[in-house]
A and B are shown apart, each in its own frame.
Chain A
Amino acid sequence: MLLGTMAGGAADCQFWETWLGTQCRLHELRNHERISVSAASKMLSNLVYQYKGMGLSMGTMICGVTPKEGPTIYYVDSDGTRLKGDLFCVGSGQTFAYGVLDSNYKWDMSVEDALYLGKRSILAAAHRDAYSGGSINLFHVTEQGWVYHGNHDVGPLFWEIKQQEGSFNNVEA
């Protein structure tokens, strides 16, 4: 089961990622096999490339775990870029999230630590970027599919983390 993230134009992302889900299901029916992350991401990137220059705005990450590829993430955006990588931050607040993520990321970190780091990175962006915030949705993607790890409202979360970690010292309690 694949997971797609959405940054940029909400409608464009929602519409075309739903379409992608349909195409992936059709692949399964036709080929009696789960689609690879590589193929799924390429279907999306080839589709958006056809609309290049016409105003689509999308920054997405297609994530999944398959037997032949292992855990895989592809970054796909609306100008037709498709990149495989271990780590991406996308959106207006990406730079803020990169800061926290890059300084604490380890290839062999535990799932628990990774979930926390993901949440903490988004919080960092939500705090500094005017166009990011609201709440954080956490997912862990495994071979069986995605596991939802809750919706976290940034409002109270910020004060919890500030107290727990002793960070955000530039903000008055």
Chain B
Amino acid sequence: MDIVLGIRTKDSVIIATSKAFTRGISILKDSDDKTRTLNDYNVLAFTGESGDTTQFAEYIQANIQLFNMRENTEMNSKAIASFIRQELAKSIRSRKPFQVQTILGGMNKGEEPFLSMIDYLGTRVDMPYVAHGYAAFYTMSLLDHHYTKDDTLDDGLKLLVMCNDELNKRMPIDFKGLNVKVVDKDGVRAIDFDEFTAAYKASL
């Protein structure tokens, strides 16, 4: 599991995850989706120990959907982040901890866009842009330099193109491209990032 990053803009949250699923010396799949949609306005991206990742993410997904059914309302992003954090905090001191790093992106109705990263220890931090693993080493400095609070979704995607270019240029592995999800006032949707990149580069 490799690239997992998120960018929060003025009106949306962008989550990007690598498409390659590698086991040992083989890339078993080049269209892997390292996210789960928790509810209409929240998406969870994950990376870490194989098996633990999907099991944990689906456990969280089931719990968020249960809340929805019981309370007849969707859980908001901050509450979801708190819930995930506590589950990971309980997990770290259990017999077999979940070795999972997560990024939660969401934008509930009437609320500001929300982006948070929670690691396997239960450390939660809410930030304008986040990344786990080696991706962070290459992208954080780029985002520190170019990110502004007034970025729109389009600006955010252009930042992501910059990040993708840098990762392709310097990372010693082929991660088979990025799966990009956007959360905005219309909910969670996947976007064709290759198409966006091509169109953006052609316009330069």
Write the residues of chain A forming the contact surface with B, with a CB cutoff of 8 angstroms: 45-46, 49, 52-53, 75, 77, 79-83, 85, 88-89, 94-95, 98
Which chain A residues lie closer than 8 Å to B96 at the CB level?
A: 52-53
Chain B contacts for A89, CB-based, 8 A: 26
Nearest chain-A residue to B96 (Cβ)? A53
B interface residue numbers (CB < 8 A to A): 21, 23, 25-26, 28-29, 32, 49-52, 54-55, 96
Known contacts A46-B55, A52-B51, then 6 further A-B pairs from the complex at CB < 8 Å, ordered by chain A residue? A49-B55, A77-B50, A80-B54, A81-B51, A88-B28, A98-B26
When the two chains form their complex, are residues B51 and A83 in contact, meaning their CB atoms are under 8 A apart? no
A85 — which chain B residues lie within 8 A by C-beta?
28-29
Q: How far is the CA of A77 from the CA of B55 in the complex (A)?
A: 14
CA distance A80 to B28 in the complex (A): 15
Nearest CB of chain B from residue A145's CB, rounded to whole Å: 26
Pairwise interchain contact A80-B26, C-beta atoms closer than 8 A: no
A/B interface sample: 8 pairs, CB < 8 A: A52-B51, A75-B28, A79-B49, A80-B50, A80-B51, A85-B28, A94-B26, A95-B25
Give Cα A95 to B96, complex, Å.
32
Partner of B50, one of A53, A79, A88: A79
Which residue of B has the minimal Cβ distance to A75?
A: B28
Contact of A80 with B32 in the complex, beta carbons under 8 Å: no
Determine which residue in B28, B32, B54, B96 has the highest number of CB atoms from chain A within 10 A of its CB, and name it: B28
Chain A contacts of B26 at CB under 8 A? 89, 94-95, 98
**A80 adjacent to B25 (CB under 8 Å):** no
- Closest B residue to A48 by CB, please name it: B51
Shortest distance between the CB of A126 and any CB in chain B (Å): 18
Interface centre among A77, A80, A89 (most CB of B within 10 A): A80
Whole-angstrom distance between the alpha carbons of A33 and B32 in the complex?
30
**Chain B residue contacts of A75, Cβ below 8 A:** 28
Assembly CA distance A53 to B95 (angstroms): 11
Note all chain B residues with C-beta closer than 8 A to A81.
Answer: 23, 50-51, 54
Return chain A residues, CB-CB under 8 Å to B28: 75, 83, 85, 88
A49, B25: Cβ atoms closer than 8 Å: no
Give B38 Cβ to nearest chain A Cβ, in Å: 19
A54, closest chain B residue (CB): B96
**Residues on B with beta carbons closer than 8 Å to the beta carbon of A88:** 28
Residues of chain A lying within 8 A (CB to CB) of residue B52: 52, 80
A82 touches B29 (CB 8 A): no
B32 in complex: contacting residue of A52, A77, A83, A98, CB < 8 Å: A83
- In Å, the complex CA distance between A82 and B21 comes to 11
**Complex Cα gap A68–B135 (Å):** 38
Task: Kindly report which residue of chain A lies nearest to residue B21, judged by CB atoms.
Answer: A83
Please measure, in the bound complex, the distance between the C-alpha atom of A95 and the C-alpha atom of B28, giving whole angstroms.
10
CA distance A88 to B29 in the complex (A): 8
Cα A88 to Cα B55 in complex, Å, equals 22
Residues of A within 8 A of B23 (CB): 77, 81
Q: Is B54 in contact with A82, judged by CB distance below 8 angstroms? A: yes
Lowest 9 CB-CB distances: which A-B pairs, in order? A80-B51, A79-B51, A81-B50, A79-B50, A85-B29, A83-B29, A49-B51, A81-B51, A49-B55
